Amino acid sequence: MIRVEDLWRTYEMGGEELHALRAVTEHIRPGEHVAIMGTSGSGKSTLLNLVGCLDRPTRGSYHLDGHEVGSLDPVELSRIRLHRIGFIFQSFHLVPRLDAVANVELPMIFDGVAPGERRKRAMAALEAVGLGRWARHRPAELSGGQKQRVAIARATIMGPGLLLADEPTGNLDTRSGDQVLALLDQLHRDGMTLVVVTHDPNVARRADRVLVLRDGEIVRRVEGASVTDLAALFAEPAGES
């Protein structure tokens, strides 16, 4: 599903080049659950933004479902983000003035789905995440965990094959975080490809594989079940200074 080769993202700062990503090459198979870990500034969110077509690489290639993303125009990229990729963020990104069901309807509005069909599908999505009773509540009337479940319903309403999550439990208490992770686990069991940025080993352990970034490079690839000691995971390999 995802193939990136020699991917770089470079920014100009103060007349100097800052390499947020350096020569990243990786293949993520359809239906795989991959976690991305690393210390602050390691390039985790930059990589996620490139995979999500929210940014373009400075050089290198990115193929999604066999299609070279770099050759697509802005309209085509928007269609990919709408239909093939779902996004979940730490800060939820819900529209404050809209109730839960209206927030879930937003992607369908952009796709021209008729109002009656939008409402039916949005209500079914909220029921699926256990929030049917809260459909008419605005974000300010919902807990953090409820907001994130609304965000999951919105992210999956168009039936994407790929779900990207940036610290999906970062703003949640343990109980709410566990509920959100259970939903993500179910989506994975249903065949969705998951790519999750996290600093939490409890989240990473649920993944099939973990990519560890440092200074914009993938320095380790480990099984999710093996993640225990973050200090050891993020440590520089022996022989490096």
CB 233 within 8 A of CB 222: yes
Two tokens, residue 162: 């790929």
Beta bridge partners of 194: 33, 163
Residue segments in the chain with a per-residue pLDDT below the cut of 50: 241
Q: Which of 9, 43, 47, 46 is nearest to 28 (CA)?
A: 47
Amino acid, single-letter form, for residue 48 = L
- Domain 2-229 = CATH 3.40.50.300: yes
pLDDT in tens, 136-191: 999 999 999 999 999 999 999 999 999 999 999 998 999 999 999 999 999 999 99
Query: Helix, strand or coil for residue 239?
Result: coil
Show me where the domains of the chain are located: 2-229
pLDDT at residue 239, as a whole number: 54
Q: What spatial distance separates the first Cα and last Cα of the chain, rounded to whole Å?
A: 36
Q: Which of 168, 209, 169 is nearest to 86 (CA)?
A: 168
pLDDT at residue 233, as a whole number: 80
* Reported pTM: 0.93
